[in-house]
Each structure stands twice: as C-alpha cells, then as structure tokens.
Amino acid sequence: MGRNARMERMIKLVTRENAIKDLSHGEYCCYCCEPKTSGSCCYENHFVPFQDLYEEDKEAMIEEYLKDN
C-alpha cells in the first residue's frame, strides 16, 4: 500500500468519527431516522439518541452525512 492510500484511509476514518460525533448531538425518529428538529417526520413520535438507532440506519446516516459535507 502506497503512502497516499494510507493517508486517504486515515482521512476517511477521521471524517467518519466526526460524522458520528456530530450526529450524536441530536435525537432521531427510530422509524424514519429524521432528526427531531426537522419537524417533518412520520409522526410516530418516538425519538431516540443516534447511538440507539439500528446499525444499518446509522451506517446510512453516516454515509449521507459524509456525502453532504
């Protein structure tokens, strides 16, 4: 593995951790994963911290976050 590839992997890891840290500030609907603050949700009214979401939902949100930032 070249030096650049290693660097790239490190950068990815850092942004991923940043995403998790950032996402952990809010609460999310456990059905549609909308943030509580968004006001538009499936109205199930069941919000949980980011850490309590399903693994696959967390992954999707992290990917979404990294795409947007």
Binding site for Zn ion (CB under 5 A): 29, 31-32, 41-42
Number of Cβ atoms within 10 Å of the Cβ of 41: 17
Could you tell me the smallest distance in angstroms from the CB atom of residue 39 to Zn ion? Answer: 11
**Residues 8, 21, 56, 46: what is their CA dihedral angle, to the nearest 10 degrees?**
-160
Could you tell me the smallest distance in angstroms from the CB atom of residue 31 to Zn ion? Answer: 5
User: Between residues 23 and 29, which has the closer beta carbon with respect to Zn ion?
Assistant: 29
Q: Which residue has the tokens 């950068």?
A: 11
User: Between residues 14 and 32, which has the closer beta carbon with respect to Zn ion?
Assistant: 32
